[in-house]
């Protein structure tokens, strides 16, 4: 920092070079980052996957699975049961499942959980999970594996999982008499998809006692009962957090096993599937260890099942390297897109936070949505035998594990089912974006410094404006008899006016208050859904998603109009050029820090933020009054662009684009309406996810990204006098 | 009657010994070894289920040397992990060294001397150098002397210059060389045959500097030592290549076989092992071509052949030592701590 706060900094050669070239350099960094990212799909920039864990011994063992008959029997029985008894109801066939599991001689338990929906008028949902534990015959129950199927009733919009349940039961029947299990196997059927899974995991890990939301209590030193800042003491009438009651009450489990090492989730609606999609993305973009992903792909292949990951299909091979590059890029892109929202694409995503590696195997056929799958009709159908073989070999391999998965990568992007990009390879693209922002910040900093220097020169009546000459003079002075004294005088001369000037032109307090206030506003917006949904349902009788959506839109519009005037309310004099530049430097630093730190956990989200906001960050500059019409015009365009990348606008735009890809042959107006509806749902989901599962997206967007955007908006809208 | 029986017995023994010595007539080209007993130290250093093959390796060698005549009392068997009782083992209480699963190498007559976490670098070095705690049972001691030929077999995971013990520590080649030098200085061996089946195995014997050691390794530095085949019923790699071919060779060796050590050293060509078998013979004084394999793998029983008749009736009489009996025990007492008696002497004198 000594270098950066040196008053002579303007004279250094690198500063002059930096000031001249920082624009093109930033641009090059931005383009370079995108090019780097695109290149990652190419063979030469990613790697073949490999096993790091020796203990897995994948596929060495002969398959003995022979329960395909019982699988189809279970399947037919279950379908019959559902048709006759549970057709219209949103209830799980608990008694049937318990009966079947007891018949296999598993230790069967049921688990009840309750959800007090935190938004709106507080509805209550109840659910039941059923699980059976196969105890390892020759060892103590210290470790466990989980095989789980989310139960989906016939009427739900998603496919049922009847075949998954049948397969799981048949496998349990086969596995029960085997003597080689070194870990317990828990066979679990959950209700209400992710909700049931979350409840079961929380109950399994004993998180039912705390009153805080789940994500606040896990891994923090915060103990319940610690005095804390309580918003409700200030606003007793507004139910801010529903008395800090946890929304999801996971209840307690009657039977437990050891620490869970890995989990495999099955989503098969029918045994006649064409291929298996291996889903890996978890909550907040967390991924399972690469070893587990490799294991599943390899054993699918060995069992003769076609498998895929995000449009990378095992039965499709690229014709040439260009083709492979294209496929690799799209797979990568698809994975990154899926990771941005941080919503798990299956129940496996909830395991990751507990340090449990998990994947979902989803059976698909040619009728599945999500784009056309090439040559899918030429694939042969799968059957219970093949699926059972695959499940058996996966579990026997997991059974060999001695430690938790830790050898292979946790941070990676897959370019196909068998190629990956490690964190060391993809991080540079994000770093380039952040470097662009930091270069911009540095150049702004040295520009302000030099202007200070110019100002000083004028004050000390020195004709020379260039600091190099100033330096020369200094050298001459030091040649005289008392160099030390001379120099100190010189320094004093320089310093006093600088101080004076600082008091005139720069008020760190004013900037700081403004900065802090905007972040507090962001924090406030983060907490609005409770209030919005409460009053929305109280006065307008609207469902929570509508009240939250329109509430947030109106807040956003209000903020757009208010924030440019906010700095004027806090101060007497006009805001100066130096102050606004400092704000600009601060916000650039903050944005790059946020992007990097978010990307440490969820690269896709960090990268997306960086890609969207770097152009804005680079083009934002302080507008000086009377700069001419051309500059004014440019400033206007910048403002328009700024509005275009408002977080809310980005959400709506991406939802419109998404619904366009889903239903391509629609009028634009209809697409717009559909997109808006989708955005409403998306915002509601992200709010609910943040409260129930601890998804960051909503919190991050409102409490960090929104304030940063507001600061950019301020900078673009304030006109200052020339320095 | 009793007497007669005894005489017959002795005569019979002498006759069999004589006939044996004539049947194991050592060929002319063999150099005579001057060892008087045989010992074997067989060590598996790695644990965990996926290292099943190492346990199978060491048990196979154990079985062979035992068959060739080294008794259990002279075999020190160290096994790091209990594969037979591993809950993952679909064949509980057995260990096989071949996918055909014909021989259970963990049968009834296996004496494991060091097992589990007892297999450590410290215990191994103490065993070799004889510096064991005084309360160590005989079965855990290497009670060799200057006439002992020792077979040392090590298997596990190695690197360049070290061998990993368990999952936590390793012995370096220098430490091993120093331990062997101590053995030589303490006259604990006559000759050593050192076999090691690990990755980069030859690095372990490069530092040896003590005489009379013949060493061979399954792979050279920079090479991996590979496994031979998988038993898909158990689901593990069942044996290492080098040991597999060694076993194949040893199965055809019998106690009075005329195979030589050089045959043993050439047992696994590169085409079969996929790694190059390393041999070090500069410390070994004899020519491996002329050393019978039974010098290390078999056992020498101390047999003295006599042509003189043995007079069993004539029990040797002990000399009586009356002077010992009459002598009263010397009364011992402590000297005073401060030499007062000397002081007084000087005064009077």
Which pairing describes strands A184-190 and A312-313: parallel, antiparallel, or unpaired? unpaired
* Structural tokens at position B11: 């005569």
pLDDT at B34: 80
Answer whether residue A500 shows pLDDT above 50: no
DSSP A666: S
What pTM was computed for the model? 0.82
- Between the alpha carbon of residue A431 and those of residues A25, A37, A587, A605, the distances in Å are 14, 11, 17, 14
A positions 600-659 inside 8 Å of B (CB) = none
Q: What percent of chain B has pLDDT over 90?
A: 52
- The contact set of B with A (CB < 8 A) is 48-50, 85-90, 92, 230, 232-237
pLDDT at A294: 94
ipTM of the complex: 0.78
Q: How far apart are the first and last CA of chain B?
A: 77
- Picking from A136, A179, A402, the nearest residue to B48 by CB comes out as A402
For residue A438, what is the enclosing H or E element?
A: helix A423-459
- Whether B273 is catalytic: no
Mean pLDDT of chain A: 83
For residue A262, what is the enclosing H or E element?
A: strand A259-267
List chain A domain ranges. 1-45+430-505, 54-218+228-417, 509-723
- Cα–Cα distance between A693 and A199 in angstroms, integer? 10
Strands across the sheet containing B169-172: B157-159, B162-165, B169-172
Q: Which segment of A23-37, A342-356, A430-444, A477-491 scores lowest on mean pLDDT?
A: A477-491
pLDDT classification of A479: cutoffs 50, 70, 90: very low
pLDDT classification of A14: cutoffs 50, 70, 90: confident
A positions 402-431 inside 8 Å of B (CB) = 402
pLDDT at A475: 43
d(CA B235, nearest CA chain A) in Å: 4
- Tell me which range, A112-116, A385-389, B301-305, is most confidently predicted by mean pLDDT: A385-389
How is domain A54-218+228-417 classified at the architecture level of CATH? 3-Layer(aba) Sandwich (3.40)
Q: Which segment of A99-113, A195-209, A409-423, A448-462 scores lowest on mean pLDDT?
A: A448-462
For A637, phi then psi, to 5°, come to -60, -40
> Which of helix, strand or coil describes residue A417?
coil
E-only strand ranges, chain B: 37-44, 75-79, 114-115, 148-155, 157-159, 162-165, 169-172, 191-197, 213-217, 227-231, 236-240, 278-280
Residue with tokens 């048709």: A83
Catalytic residue among B54, B157, B228, B273: B157
DSSP B119: -
Answer whether residue A139 shows pLDDT above 80: yes
- Cα–Cα distance between A682 and A674 in angstroms, integer? 12
DSSP A354: G
DSSP A48: E
Answer whether residue B336 shows pLDDT above 90: no
List chain B domain ranges. 34-295
> Which of helix, strand or coil describes residue A108?
strand
pLDDT at A464: 39
Q: What is the number of alpha carbons within 13 Å of residue A482 lying toward its C-beta?
A: 5
pLDDT classification of A533: cutoffs 50, 70, 90: confident
d(CA A57, nearest CA chain B) in Å: 7
Tens digits of residue pLDDT in B26-85: 555 566 778 888 999 999 999 899 999 999 999 999 999 999 989 999 999 999 988 999
Q: What is the mean predicted confidence (pLDDT) over A511-529?
A: 89
Tens digits of residue pLDDT in A407-455: 999 999 999 999 999 999 999 999 999 999 999 999 998 888 776 655 5
DSSP, residue by residue, A119-157: STT--EEEEEEEEEEE--TTS-S-EEEEEEEE---TTSS
Contact assignment for B50 to A139 by CB distance below 8 Å = no
A62 touches chain B (CB under 8 A): yes
A690 touches chain B (CB under 8 A): no
CA B106 to mean position of chain CA atoms:
19
**Chain A environment of B234 (Cβ under 8 Å):** 61
Across the strands, what pairs with B153? B42, B195
- Cα–Cα distance between B158 and A53 in angstroms, integer? 18
**Chain B environment of A137 (Cβ under 8 Å):** 87
- Between the alpha carbon of residue A303 and those of residues A69, A292, A306, the distances in Å are 18, 16, 9
pLDDT at A462: 39
> Which of helix, strand or coil describes residue A331?
helix
CA A201 to mean position of chain CA atoms:
21
Tens digits of residue pLDDT in A264-295: 999 998 888 889 999 999 999 999 999 999 99
pLDDT at A6: 59
Answer whether residue B21 shows pLDDT above 70: no
For B101, phi then psi, to 5°, come to 55, 45
* Structural tokens at position A607: 């990268």
- Picking from A60, A136, A180, the nearest residue to B90 by CB comes out as A180
Q: Is the dihedral of CA A374, A377, A378, A383 positive or negative?
A: positive
pLDDT at B348: 41
Q: What percent of chain A has pLDDT over 90?
A: 45
pLDDT at A234: 55
Answer whether residue A473 shows pLDDT above 90: no
Tens digits of residue pLDDT in A56-80: 999 888 899 999 999 999 999 998 9
pLDDT classification of A719: cutoffs 50, 70, 90: confident
- Cα–Cα distance between A100 and A572 in angstroms, integer? 77
Q: What is the mean predicted confidence (pLDDT) over B143-162?
A: 92
pLDDT at B349: 37
Answer whether residue B145 shows pLDDT above 50: yes
pLDDT at A217: 46
- Cα–Cα distance between A116 and A176 in angstroms, integer? 38
- Cα–Cα distance between A115 and A127 in angstroms, integer? 8
- Cα–Cα distance between A14 and B202 in angstroms, integer? 56
CATH, domain range B34-295: 3.40.50.1460
CA B41 to mean position of chain CA atoms:
3
pLDDT at A544: 82
Tens digits of residue pLDDT in A601-632: 899 999 999 999 999 999 988 888 877 888 88
Tens digits of residue pLDDT in B202-261: 999 999 999 999 999 999 998 888 899 899 889 999 999 999 999 999 998 888 788 889
């Amino acid at each position: 920092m000594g270098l950066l706060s040196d008053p002579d900094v303007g004279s250094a050669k690198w500063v002059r070079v930096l000031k001249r070239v920082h624009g093109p350099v930033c641009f090059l960094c931005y383009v370079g980052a995108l090019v780097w990212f695109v290149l990652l799909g190419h063979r030469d920039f990613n790697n073949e996957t490999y096993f790091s864990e020796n203990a897995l011994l994948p596929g060495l063992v002969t398959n003995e699975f022979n329960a395909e008959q019982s699988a189809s029997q279970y399947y037919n029985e279950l379908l019959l049961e559902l048709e006759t008894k549970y057709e219209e109801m949103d209830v799980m066939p608990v008694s049937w499942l318990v009966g079947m599991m007891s018949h296999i001689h598993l230790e069967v338990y049921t688990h009840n959980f309750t959800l007090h929906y935190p938004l709106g008028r507080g509805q209550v949902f109840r659910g039941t999970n059923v699980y059976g534990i196969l105890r390892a015959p020759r060892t103590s129950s210290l470790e466990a594996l989980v095989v789980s199927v989310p139960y989906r009733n016939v009427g739900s919009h998603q496919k049922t999982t009847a075949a998954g349940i049948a397969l799981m039961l048949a496998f349990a029947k086969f596995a029960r008499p085997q003597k080689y299990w070194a870990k317990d196997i828990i066979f679990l059927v959950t209700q209400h998809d992710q909700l049931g899974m979350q409840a079961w995991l929380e109950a399994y890990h004993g998180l039912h006692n705390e009153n805080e939301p789940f994500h606040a209590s896990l891994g923090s030193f915060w103990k319940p009962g610690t005095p804390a800042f309580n918003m409700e003491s200030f606003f007793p009438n507004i139910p801010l957090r529903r008395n800090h009651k946890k929304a999801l009450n996971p209840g307690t489990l009657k039977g437990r096993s050891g620490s869970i090492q890995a989990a495999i989730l099955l989503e098969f609606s029918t045994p006649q599937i064409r291929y298996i999609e291996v889903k890996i993305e978890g909550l907040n973009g967390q991924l399972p260890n690469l070893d587990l992903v490799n294991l599943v792909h390899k054993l699918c292949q060995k069992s003769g099942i076609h498998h895929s990951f995000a449009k990378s299909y095992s039965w499709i091979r690229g014709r040439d390297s260009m083709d492979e590059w294209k496929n690799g890029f799209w797979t990568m892109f698809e994975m990154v897109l899926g990771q941005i929202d941080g919503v798990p694409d299956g129940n496996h995503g909830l395991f990751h936070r507990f340090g449990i590696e998990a994947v979902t195997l989803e059976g698909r056929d040619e009728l599945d949505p999500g784009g056309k799958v090439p040559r899918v009709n030429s694939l042969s159908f799968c059957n219970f035998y093949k699926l059972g073989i695959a499940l058996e070999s996966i579990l026997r391999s997991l059974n060999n594990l001695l430690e938790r998965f830790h050898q292979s990568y946790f941070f990676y992007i897959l370019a196909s089912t068998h190629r990956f990009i490690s964190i060391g390879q993809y991080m540079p693209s994000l770093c380039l974006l952040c470097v662009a922002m930091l270069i911009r910040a540095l150049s702004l900093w040295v520009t302000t410094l030099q202007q200070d220097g110019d100002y000083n020169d004028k004050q000390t009546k020195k004709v020379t404006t260039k600091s190099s000459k100033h330096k020369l003079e200094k050298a001459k002075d030091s040649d005289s008899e008392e160099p030390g004294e001379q120099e100190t005088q010189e320094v004093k001369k320089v310093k006093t006016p600088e101080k004076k000037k600082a008091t005139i032109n720069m008020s760190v307090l004013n900037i700081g208050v403004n900065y802090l206030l905007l972040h507090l506003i962001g924090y406030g917006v983060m907490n609005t859904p409770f209030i919005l949904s409460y009053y929305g349902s109280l006065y307008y009788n609207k469902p929570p998603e509508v009240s939250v959506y329109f509430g947030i839109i109106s807040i956003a519009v209000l903020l757009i109009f208010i924030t440019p005037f906010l700095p004027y309310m806090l101060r007497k004099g006009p805001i100066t050029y130096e102050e606004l530049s400092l704000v600009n430097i601060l916000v650039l630093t903050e944005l790059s820090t946020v992007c990097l730190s978010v990307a440490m956990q969820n690269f896709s989200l960090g990268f997306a933020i960086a890609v969207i906001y770097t152009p804005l960050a680079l083009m934002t500059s302080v507008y000086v009054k009377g700069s001419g019409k051309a500059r004014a015009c440019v400033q206007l365009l910048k403002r328009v662009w700024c509005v275009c990348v408002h977080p809310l606008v980005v959400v709506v735009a991406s939802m419109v684009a998404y619904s366009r890809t889903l239903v391509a042959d629609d009028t634009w107006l209809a697409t717009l309406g559909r997109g808006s509806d989708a955005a409403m749902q998306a915002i509601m989901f992200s709010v609910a996810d943040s409260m129930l599962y601890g998804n960051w997206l909503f919190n991050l967007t409102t409490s960090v990204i929104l304030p940063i955007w507001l600061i950019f908006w301020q900078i673009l809208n304030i006109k200052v006098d020339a320095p | 009657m009793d007497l007669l029986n005894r005489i017959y017995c002795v005569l019979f023994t002498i006759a069999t010994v004589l006939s044996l010595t004539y049947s194991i007539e050592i060929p002319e080209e063999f150099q005579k070894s001057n060892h008087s007993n045989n010992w074997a130290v067989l060590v598996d250093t790695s644990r965990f289920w996926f290292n099943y093959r190492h346990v199978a390796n060491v048990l196979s060698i154990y079985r062979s040397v035992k068959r060739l005549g080294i008794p259990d009392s002279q075999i020190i068997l160290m096994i790091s992990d209990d594969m037979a009782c591993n809950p993952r083992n679909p064949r509980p209480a057995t260990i096989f060294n071949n996918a055909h699963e014909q021989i259970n190498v963990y049968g009834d007559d296996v004496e494991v001397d060091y097992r589990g976490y007892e297999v450590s670098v410290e215990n191994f070095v103490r065993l070799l150098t004889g510096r064991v705690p005084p309360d160590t049972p005989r079965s855990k001691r290497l009670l060799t002397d200057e006439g002992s030929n020792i077979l040392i077999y090590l298997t596990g995971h190695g690197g360049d210059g070290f061998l990993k013990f368990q999952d936590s520590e390793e012995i370096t080649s220098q430490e091993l060389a120093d331990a062997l030098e101590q053995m030589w200085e303490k006259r604990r061996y006559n000759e050593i045959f050192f076999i090691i089946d690990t990755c980069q195995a030859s690095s372990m014997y490069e530092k040896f500097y003590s005489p009379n050691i013949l060493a061979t390794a399954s792979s050279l530095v920079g090479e991996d030592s590979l496994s031979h085949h998988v038993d898909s019923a158990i689901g593990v790699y069942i044996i290492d290549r080098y040991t597999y071919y060694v076993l194949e060779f040893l199965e055809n060796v019998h106690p009075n076989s005329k195979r030589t050590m050089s045959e043993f050293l050439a047992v696994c060509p590169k085409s079969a092992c996929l790694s190059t078998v390393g041999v070090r013979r500069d410390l070994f004084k004899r020519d491996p071509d002329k050393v019978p394999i039974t010098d290390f793998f078999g056992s020498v029983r101390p047999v003295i052949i006599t042509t003189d008749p043995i007079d069993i009736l004539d029990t040797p009489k002990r000399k009586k030592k009356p002077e010992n009996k009459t002598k009263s025990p010397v009364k011992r007492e402590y000297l005073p701590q401060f030499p007062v008696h000397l002081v007084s002497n000087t005064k009077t004198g």
